Structure 1
């Protein structure tokens, strides 16, 4: 049974001097390194995301969680519906217990495609992402139409922003950008035996995944506003044209950072989001919402090389993306800790300095927050599920269940 996520009446994490010592006390009998998920903070984030989506269903992005117990708990809340997986093998695994799994990225995994095509139930539960007829050709080469179940597919529309001055703003995903390109591909998919076009998707990373807090981010906020307006018009037109061709079950868009603007797009029927559940460091830089730090991890102090420096074992759990200090986990408790510029966060040791470092002793623990959400799960076999001042349960990550999908 999934654990209940009841919206808390208080926000104790807003007082760090009380919040982190409480987590430390609750987990004091466990040896680091370990990860912690606060039930109260997770519940607050889940409910806040629903409020921001304003009634548009949220499809949970599993890449940003990678903990089945958390996926189940969130999906038990009214307003959350379906999973956006990140690989086909993962989707097949999740589809054993979930009946609506969309693969967020095209798959060329031949064994997984063969498994999907050979199983009527899996084929009815899993939807593949496509942006080219080459994706259909690959499926046909693995499992001819006459020898397989019908394959559900979703067409991805490039949702980046193209500006005469800025150029391409956003991530490089689908080659399908123009309305006519979407309609042409949709028509070709519908004509292909053995496939059924059931959805469209577009991820506006330049809005959902870019921080916009502070005076220095005025240009970013202006870009995001312009991008949202452009995308609303273009996506709306593309969806309208594709709906003339296929009976779409869903149109997916957005992300945690764009729940409001994606909800405002009438062509979108659901929003994909997941990172906001854990509240990683990435979202500290957003102006319009502030999730709770639901997920964190702790490391032990193992050395005191000088009176001003304490060294923790491990800690270098670097986030993906453009390399730089913005991808390093941050020591958040005790407050006032920082890295040494020439060493920073390392795989086996991370020296920290600052006023608080002087008081750290061998065996003390330091709490960190990760920059990304689901990537933290790749470093842990389990999370300690903490409620109040006690450990409620231990829940395995994908890694803890023996799964590494990417």
Structure 2
């Protein structure tokens, strides 16, 4: 829905959906288009070609949306981003198969984990260093409850001395992975069950940006090189771990790399989350057509001139390296733009473009966040829209008192 006609229809549809609740909805009004969400879920499952899709909860942060994704055929398990979040999801009955994607040093949460056999059986911790095991042991007096462990292996592309990709794990060579695996297996109170390799330089980088043709070509070539290198390394890791432990899963990839990830025979499951909501940073991929599903609405509060419209708030800027691509996108009505001087402001955001002239005080403008999930750290409730109606209003993590 990137065409002007479609975005104008979206503007009318979302305005109609919230019209009956307008007096009660504080801005930013966060909505999820369930029709787009469900279509995106089906598309992710299709792209995964039979391998399970593990829901990356960082990209949703709304329990009802995580549950909705898990209800779709082809989805299984959650990839959480904090241990506290994983414990909350388990306690709420969202999933009994939760892998924490990042090593944790949260001793309070670890105490809760090791004191609950049910939680320990459902949650898998990620490690890439013996020190992570030491932290777990530091909070328990008994090792009667086994802690499930997965190894996070660096999936960056190495070109000579250059490393392209997220700076995550110190584990790279199969020999180093096997050495840590043997340590885990030999250590009382731990059970090695999985491996993860997240190729962010493939999954999280747009490769078909219309205004960056030359750069996009370079990105595609780097992705091809990375996929080829990873195929060899993953195979070596699987062979090195075969005599050490009987693994339950080998997790990899993300929304932008589903096809290449599942094509690797070493991988047993793919992670995905952003592909369900499709934020601004996921607009320009060759591998899939975007269907934006998450929006936030702000009201016009000023008309500084006949050709400008200023909305109240708007400074919902995404994390990561600072740049224009981290700013929210004015989406509906189409044709609006942020100004170069003020950008997206904490208390006001001026908008230019031809639709600004027709907007009046009180009108809604709908934006897209640059990154998936982060939008919902700014609101307590999310309104789920189907067609032209809000069919349900659900709490975000923040609304539940569990902001992460």
TM-score (norm 2): 0.95
Q: 1:285 aligns to what SS in structure 2?
A: coil
Kept after mapping to 2: 8 A contact 1:190/1:246: yes
1:261-294 deviation digits (Å, cap 9, x = unpaired): 0001101101111111011111112122122111
1:185 is paired with a residue whose SS is helix
Give the 3-state SS of the residue equivalent to 1:106 in structure 2: coil
Contact 1:106–1:135 under 8 Å retained in 2: yes
Query: How far apart are residue 16 of structure 1 and its match?
Result: 2.0
Aligned to 1:249: 248
Of residues 92, 112, 116, the one that matches 1:115 is: 112
Q: Distance between the aligned counterparts of 1:39 and 1:189, measured in 2?
A: 42
Where do 4+ consecutive residues of structure 1 move more than 3 Å? 10-14
Determine the structure 2 residue equivalent to 1:173.
168
Is this contact kept in 2: 1:251–1:270, CA < 8 A? yes
> 1:129 pairs with 120, 123, 126, which one?
126
Residues 214-225 of structure 1 aligned to structure 2 (within 5 Å)? 214=209, 215-216=213-214, 217-225=216-224
Q: For residue 319 of structure 2, what is the aligned residue in structure 1?
A: 320
**1: CA distance, partners of 2:50 / 2:169:** 28
Query: Which TM-score applies when normalising by structure 1?
Result: 0.94
**1:47-86 to 2 correspondences below 5 Å:** 47-86=42-81
Q: 1:16 corresponds to which residue?
A: 7
Q: Which moved more, 1:132-141 or 1:15-24?
A: 15-24
Find 2:19's aligned residue among 18, 23, 28: 28
Residues 179-218 of structure 1: matches in 2 within 5 Å?
179-214=174-209, 215-216=213-214, 217-218=216-217
Mapped to 2, the partners of 1:14 and 1:116 lie a distance apart of 51
Relative to 1, partners in 2 of residues 1:362 and 1:172: Cα closer, same or farther, differing over 3 Å? same
Q: Mind listing any 5+ residue stretches in structure 2 that lack a counterpart?
A: none
Give unmatched runs, 5+ long, in structure 1. Answer: 1-9
- Over 3 Å counting, the alpha-carbon distance change for 1:148 and 1:347 in structure 2 is farther
| TM-superposition CA deviations, 1:323-345 (whole Å, max 9, x none) | 01110001011211111111110
Q: Secondary structure at the match of 2:304?
A: strand
1:14, CA displacement in angstroms?
A: 7.7
The answer to whether 1:139 aligns with 2:130 is: no
Q: 1:46 offset after TM fit, Å?
A: 0.3
Instruction: Give SS of 2:342's match.
Output: coil
- Compared CA separation, residues 155 and 69, structure 1 to 2 (3 A): same
Contact 1:12 1:19 in 2 (8 A): no
- For the aligned residues, what is the CA RMSD? 1.6
Q: 1:243 Cα shift?
A: 2.2
Tell me, yes or no, if structure 1 residue 155 matches structure 2 residue 151: yes
Asked whether the 8 Å contact 2:54–2:75 carries over to 1, the reply is: yes
Aligned equivalents of 2:269, 2:4: Cα separation in 1: 30
Q: Distance in 1 between matches of 2:2 and 2:331?
A: 17
